[in-house]
């Protein structure tokens, strides 16, 4: 501040010199600029000091580089790397990964505070770009922020899909699919069988039947099921793939690693299936309502049918958008 006042005095003296040379207007201008500059700096200094005092300090952590932060120093075995850092900086460590500040908790007691005692405070996530794309903009129950909309989705899933009544109702279906798999493997006696593929197809059929009352049969079982498995694998890999756009959001538009375009391509494949199944389900429901007159309160409904009813008839507390339905089916 003293230096600034000294410079302002010099400017004033220079202004007096100019005044004696017939340049009074320049003197007035420089004095005005100097005064405004001093006032702006004083206000900025006061607010900066107040903000620094009110903002709680961040946990300790290793020093990093400008812009990159601690990225160049990460080790492949992160758990071992974090353990070594905890010996130096304690159980709560700050790492700067690009523009993202990350907090590492390496103590069981502190983890309990974060994950259980104060879980509502720490429940929200900073989802990866690929995750937002693959879940229709974070419309699912996994990446959606904690709040009324998340509780709505959780209530629907727990009540309609994961309840004891729903699980008991699918017991016969699960038994039938397991028998179909055993029958298929028995018929392949003397030939090699990929057990992993067969287990995936069995579970996939159980889920499809639970979701929209359909399953894969015959040649469709092998062809579409294997393709489904490959897409699921790619989908999961993209969700966990390191993406520079997640660390430097301003690079998102460039998609330097192609993660976003690959996820959009995978989503389009799933979306075509969802659109086809939803269209078919609506046609069946309209036909039954028009010709058979079934009582919807008594008939057995699959998960998709319940979701579509909430889309068309639900109130503002339970209504679902089509993207929310597709995101739930994706999960």
Radius of gyration of the chain (CA): 31
Distance in angstroms (rounded) separating the CA atoms of residues 267 and 275: 12
pLDDT at position 133 over 50: yes
Q: Kindly list the distances between the CA atom of residue 200 and the CA atoms of 77, 85, 99, 227, 331, in Å, as whole numbers in the listed order.
A: 30, 40, 39, 11, 16
**Short-list 179, 184, 232, 185, CA closest to 204:** 232
Listing DSSP states for 168-185 in one string gives HHTHHHHHHHHHHHHHHH
Q: Which residues pair with 97 in a beta bridge?
A: 69, 100
Please give the pLDDT value at position 269.
92
Distance in angstroms (rounded) separating the CA atoms of residues 215 and 195: 19
pLDDT tens profile 248-292:
999 999 999 999 999 999 999 999 989 988 888 888 777 677 666
Secondary structure (3-state) at 32: helix
Residue with the bigger pLDDT between 13 and 328: it is 328
Distance in angstroms (rounded) separating the CA atoms of residues 272 and 278: 10
Please give the pLDDT value at position 111.
93
193 with 181: CB under 8 angstroms? no
Q: How confident is the model at residue 80 (pLDDT cuts 50, 70, 90)?
A: very high
CB count within 10 Å of CB 50 equals 10
The residue-averaged pLDDT of 97-124 equals 91
Number of H helices, E strands in the chain: 15, 2
The residue-averaged pLDDT of 226-242 equals 89
pLDDT tens profile 304-313:
888 888 887 7
Of 220-229, 237-246, 290-299, give the lowest mean pLDDT range.
290-299
Token digits for 11? Answer: 């400017």
Give me the helix-helix angle, 218-240 and 259-287, nearest 10°: 140
pTM passes above 0.85: no
Q: 168 phi and psi, to 5 degrees?
A: -65, -35
Distance in angstroms (rounded) separating the CA atoms of residues 99 and 106: 22
Average pLDDT in the chain: 81
**Short-list 164, 278, 287, 136, CA closest to 213:** 278
Helix (H) or strand (E) holding 311: helix 303-313
329 with 141: CB under 8 angstroms? no
Three-state SS annotation for 109-127:
HHHHHHHHHCHHHHCCCCC
pLDDT at position 213 over 50: yes
Q: Kindly list the distances between the CA atom of residue 46 and the CA atoms of 8, 39, 42, 204, in Å, as whole numbers in the listed order.
A: 20, 11, 6, 62
The residue-averaged pLDDT of 1-9 equals 40
Handedness of CA 105, 107, 113, 119 (dihedral sign): positive
Please give the pLDDT value at position 308.
87
Please give the pLDDT value at position 50.
58
pLDDT tens profile 180-209:
889 989 998 889 998 888 888 888 888 887
Helix (H) or strand (E) holding 97: strand 92-97
């Amino acid at each position: 501040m003293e230096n600034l006042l000294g410079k302002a005095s010099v400017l004033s003296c220079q202004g007096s010199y100019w005044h004696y040379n017939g340049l009074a207007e320049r003197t007035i201008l420089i004095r005005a600029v100097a005064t405004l500059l001093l006032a702006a700096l004083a206000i900025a200094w006061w607010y900066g000091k107040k903000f620094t005092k009110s903002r709680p300090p961040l946990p300790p952590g290793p020093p990093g580089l400008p812009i990159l932060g601690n990225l160049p120093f990460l080790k492949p075995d992160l758990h071992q790397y974090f353990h070594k850092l905890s010996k130096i900086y304690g159980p709560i460590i700050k790492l700067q990964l690009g523009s993202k500040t990350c907090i590492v908790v390496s103590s069981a007691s502190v983890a309990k505070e974060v994950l259980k005692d104060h879980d509502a405070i720490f429940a929200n996530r900073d989802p990866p770009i690929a995750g937002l794309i693959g879940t229709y903009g974070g419309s699912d129950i996994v990446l959606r922020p904690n709040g009324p909309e998340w509780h709505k989705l959780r209530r629907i899933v727990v009540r309609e899909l994961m309840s004891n009544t729903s699980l008991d109702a699918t017991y016969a279906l699960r038994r039938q699919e397991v028998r179909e798999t055993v029958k298929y493997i028995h018929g392949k006696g003397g030939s090699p069988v990929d057990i992993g593929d067969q287990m995936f197809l069995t579970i996939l059929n159980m889920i499809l039947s639970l979701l929209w009352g359909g399953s894969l049969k015959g040649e469709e079982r092998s062809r579409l099921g294997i393709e489904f498995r490959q897409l699921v694998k790619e989908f999961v890999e993209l969700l966990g793939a390191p993406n520079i756009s997640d660390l430097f959001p301003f690079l998102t538009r460039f998609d330097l690693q192609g993660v976003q375009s690959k996820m959009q391509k995978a989503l389009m494949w799933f979306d075509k299936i969802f659109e086809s199944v939803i269209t078919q389900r609506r046609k069946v429901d309209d036909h039954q309502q028009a010709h058979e007159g079934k009582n919807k309160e008594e008939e057995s409904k699959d998960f998709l049918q319940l979701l579509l009813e909430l889309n068309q008839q639900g109130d503002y507390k339970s209504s679902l958008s089509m993207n929310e339905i597709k995101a739930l089916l994706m999960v």
